[in-house]
Amino acid sequence: MNDTIQTAEPAALKFDTQSALPPEETERLGIDIVAALKTVFDPEIPADIYELGLIYKVDIKDDRSVDVQMTLTTPNCPAAGELPTMVENAVASVAGVGPVSVAVVWEPSWTPDRMSDEARLVLNMW
């Protein structure tokens, strides 16, 4: 079974700890993965991709491999070629994480309401 971090709402985490990994390890990995994701910024937007709501799902598998589903603000995003690689490298840098796979998905479409209050503050979008 997978351990899943879903970000249906900005900065909301869901940990499914019914796997071979101990719950405290799942929690540590989840916290460290989110911290790593917060180091990735869209080059055109001064907010990290996690707070922007671009990360839809993170699956931590029993073998410690990690699958990430993310989106972009638009299909024509100029950073489309580099952001998934930046996400992969950030997650792979977390101690204890195995191979990382990143998929760009378009459903549901990203909208500004996926942004956290932190991102809205940085972007002055109140």
What is this structure's pTM? 0.83
The answer to the question of residue 1 being in a domain is no
Residue 30 is given by DSSP the state H
Q: Exposed e or buried b for every residue in 44-74, given b needs 16+ CB within 10 A?
A: ebebbbbbbbbbbbbbbbeebebbbbbbbbe
* Domains held by the chain: number: 1
* d(C-alpha 48, C-alpha 121), whole Å: 12
pLDDT band at residue 5 under the 50/70/90 scheme: low
The answer to the question of residue 12 being in a domain is no
Range of the domain at 61: 23-123
Whether omega before 108 lies within 30 degrees of 0, making that bond cis, reads: yes
What does the pLDDT look like over 17-69, one tens digit per residue?
456 888 889 899 999 999 999 999 988 888 999 999 999 999 999 999 999 99
What does the pLDDT look like over 109-120, one tens digit per residue?
999 999 999 999
Q: Residue 109 corresponds to which amino acid?
A: S
The answer to the question of residue 44 being in a domain is yes
The answer to the question of residue 15 being in a domain is no
